[in-house]
Amino acid sequence: MLQISHKIYHHVKREKIGEVGYEPNKYTEMDIQHPVFANDPVYYYSLLNCYVVVQTTDGKEHTGWVHTVDPVSASVILVQFEDSGTGKEVTFVSGHNVSSIKILEKDKPPGIDTTIDTLFRKEQVKYSNKELTAKREALCVWLSENRVPYTIKDDLSIEVLQAALIRQPYGAEDIQCMNEVVLDNVMKLVQRMPSPT
């Protein structure tokens, strides 16, 4: 286990500025061992998509395929498939409750990583050209009604305020922008857009 000790210096201000005995650079040293510095991210990475058993501090055992391990909190997300392969159970084990992790199956079946990842992805909806055109036109009308300047690019994306880009299918999650304030405002505006009737 990786052990890193950090020294944190705290400024001790015992006297007020200007009083006799005040020293501006008076420090004390304190050793802090935080659990985040003891975690081993390489070990956690090696657990991805392995079949493991997680032993908790309350004596329970949770088995499943590791989807992810948070390197800071040491929390684990496990996926367990039914024997038929259709049903699935997702278990979240908080890092403070994990006492040990033991690998039961290191050899990953082919395609298990893709199968697990697809469980956590939003299903992509396929739109026809007609539907995309209707969504783009409705969004342009909404932007015009709210007096927001926009231009339609060659790739049919919509540039808003010369800063944000809204790509197909023109939802709030399809906005790209380097400016967080503009991104937030454009997302809120798109989310408030009434759905077409």
The per-residue pLDDT for range 122-142, each reduced to its tens digit, is 777 888 999 999 999 999 999
What is the spatial distance between Cα 139 and Cα 190, in angstroms, rounded to a whole number? Answer: 8
pLDDT tens sequence across 35-45: 667 778 888 88
What is the residue whose two structure tokens read 């906005």?
A: 175
Task: Give the total residue count for the chain.
Answer: 197
SS3 assignment, position 123 = coil
Give which of 156, 165, 155 is closest to 187, Cα–Cα. 165
What is the spatial distance between Cα 142 and Cα 134, in angstroms, rounded to a whole number? Answer: 12
Whether residue 14 has pLDDT greater than 50: no
What is the value of pTM for the model shown?
0.51
